[in-house]
Chain A
Amino acid sequence: MIWDTVWDVFSNIFGFISIIGPLLLSGWAWQGIKVKLKSLNEPN
Chain B
Amino acid sequence: MFTEAVVKLHFIDWVVFVIYLGIVLYIGYYFYKRSKGFDDYFMAGRDLTAPLLVGTLVSTFYGLDTLFGNSEIGFFEGISAFFAYALPYTVLYGVMAFLSPYFKNKFPEGTTMQEIVFRKYGKTAGIFSSIASFFYSTNTMEIMGLGFMFRLITGMPYWMGVIIGVILITGFTWMGGLGAVTITDFMQFVVMLATVGIALVVGWNAIGGYENVMVGLQNFVGEDAEYYFTVGAGYLTPWTLFAYSLTALAVLAEPAFFQRVFAAAGPNEIKKGFTVAIPMWLSYDWCVAFLGILGAAAVGLAIIPEDIVANEALFAVAGQYLPVGILGLFMAGVFAAAMSTADSYFLVAGGVIGYDIYKGVVKPDATSQETERMTKIGILISAAFSLALAFLFDRIMEVWVFQATIILATCVVPVYFGTFSKKAPKKIAGAVATVFGFCASIIWYIWTNFFGTWSDDMEVYVIKIGEVELWQEYGIIIIVPIVIILYLLFNKFGKEIVETEGDE
Contacts and interface: CB of A to CB of B under 8 A. Distances in A.
Interface of A: 1-2, 4-5, 7-8, 10-12, 14-19, 21-23, 25-26, 28-29, 31-33, 35-36, 39-41, 44
Given A25-B190, A39-B47, 19 more contacts: A2-B210, A4-B209, A11-B200, A14-B287, A17-B197, A17-B280, A18-B193, A18-B194, A18-B280, A18-B287, A23-B190, A23-B194, A28-B50, A29-B54, A29-B55, A29-B186, A32-B51, A35-B49, A40-B179
Given A19-B201, A26-B190, A36-B47, A4 B211 contact: yes
Interface residues of B, number: 43
Contacts of B51: 25, 28-29, 31-32
A18 B196 contact: yes
Nearest to B285: A14
B29 interface: no
Interface in B188-204: 189-190, 193-194, 196-198, 200-201, 204
B270 interface: no
A9 B51 CA distance: 28
Nearest to A15: B201
A30 B213 CA distance: 40
Interface of B: 31, 34, 36, 40, 44-45, 47-52, 54-55, 179, 183, 186, 189-190, 193-194, 196-198, 200-201, 204-205, 208-211, 213, 229, 276, 279-280, 282-284, 286-287, 290
B196 to A, nearest CB: 6
Given A29-B186, A36-B45, A17 B210 contact: no
B31 A40 contact: yes
A31 B209 CA distance: 39
B209 A36 contact: no
Main secondary structure of the interface of A (DSSP, over half): helix
**Residue of A16, A26, A40 contacting most chain B CB atoms (<10 Å):** A40
A21 B263 CA distance: 24
A1 B208 CA distance: 9
B186 A33 contact: yes
Contacts of A23: 190, 194
Nearest to B196: A18
Contact of A36 (B179, B189, B279): B179
17 contacts: A2-B204, A2-B209, A4-B210, A5-B211, A8-B210, A11-B200, A14-B290, A15-B283, A17-B197, A19-B201, A22-B189, A28-B50, A28-B51, A32-B51, A33-B186, A39-B45, A41-B34
Contacts of A5: 209-211
Main secondary structure of the interface of B (DSSP, over half): helix
Contacts of B284: 18
Contact of B208 (A2, A7, A29): A2
B59 to A, nearest CB: 10
A4 B312 CA distance: 29
A39 to B, nearest CB: 6
Contacts of B198: 15, 19
Contacts of B280: 17-18, 21-22
Contact of B286 (A11, A29, A33): A11
A2 B194 CA distance: 20
Nearest to B276: A25
Contacts of B48: 32
B177 to A, nearest CB: 11
Contact of A14 (B40, B209, B229, B283): B283
Contact of B49 (A10, A15, A32): A32
B210 A21 contact: no
B282 A14 contact: yes
Contacts of A21: 193, 276, 279-280, 283
Given A2-B209, A25-B54, A29-B55, A19 B197 contact: yes
A18 B190 CA distance: 9
Nearest to B228: A7
- The 9 closest A-B CB pairs, nearest first, are A18-B197, A2-B209, A29-B51, A15-B201, A32-B49, A19-B197, A14-B286, A22-B190, A17-B283
Contacts of A26: 186, 190
Contacts of A14: 197, 200, 282-283, 286-287, 290
